[in-house]
């Protein structure tokens, strides 16, 4: 008989055939997804579910919410404002930040 911890529906039962022809059952627990991180700063994102299948949950309702950390998002907004005002040029912006600045500028028009 299986162990009590393996009698749950949260355990996936995988059947494998051994070279001798016997069928063995392996028990695998479902794995949680990794924590979502900001692509710029690498910090974990707040208020974003990392479990698989939770796409219907609410995301943060702000610019770049659920994509960038708050510090990186504010940095992007500052840089985009400087480009819009003419203080900076797009060529002066770091290449890692450039797509986000362009997206922010296209959204504001």
State pLDDT tens for residues 47-89. 777 766 565 667 778 888 888 999 999 999 999 999 999 999 9
State pLDDT tens for residues 7-61. 888 888 889 999 999 999 888 877 777 888 999 999 998 877 776 656 566 777 8
pLDDT, position 84: 93
Return the closest-CA partner of residue 74 out of 66, 84, 64. 64
State pLDDT tens for residues 84-105. 999 999 999 999 999 999 999 9
**Half-sphere exposure in the Cβ direction for 92 (13 Å, CA):** 8
pLDDT, position 53: 58
Report the Cα 46 to chain-centroid distance in Å: 11
């Amino acid at each position: 008989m299986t162990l009590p911890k393996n009698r749950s529906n949260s355990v996936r039962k995988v059947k494998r055939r051994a070279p001798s022809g016997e069928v063995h059952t392996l028990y695998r627990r479902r794995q949680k997804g990794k924590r979502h991180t900001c692509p710029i700063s690498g910090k974990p994102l707040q208020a974003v579910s990392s479990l698989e299948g939770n796409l219907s949950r609410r995301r943060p309702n702000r610019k770049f919410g659920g994509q960038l950390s708050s510090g990186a998002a504010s940095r992007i907004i500052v840089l985009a404002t400087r480009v819009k005002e003419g203080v900076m040029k797009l060529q002066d912006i770091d290449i890692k930040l450039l797509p986000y600045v362009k997206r922010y500028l296209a959204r504001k028009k």
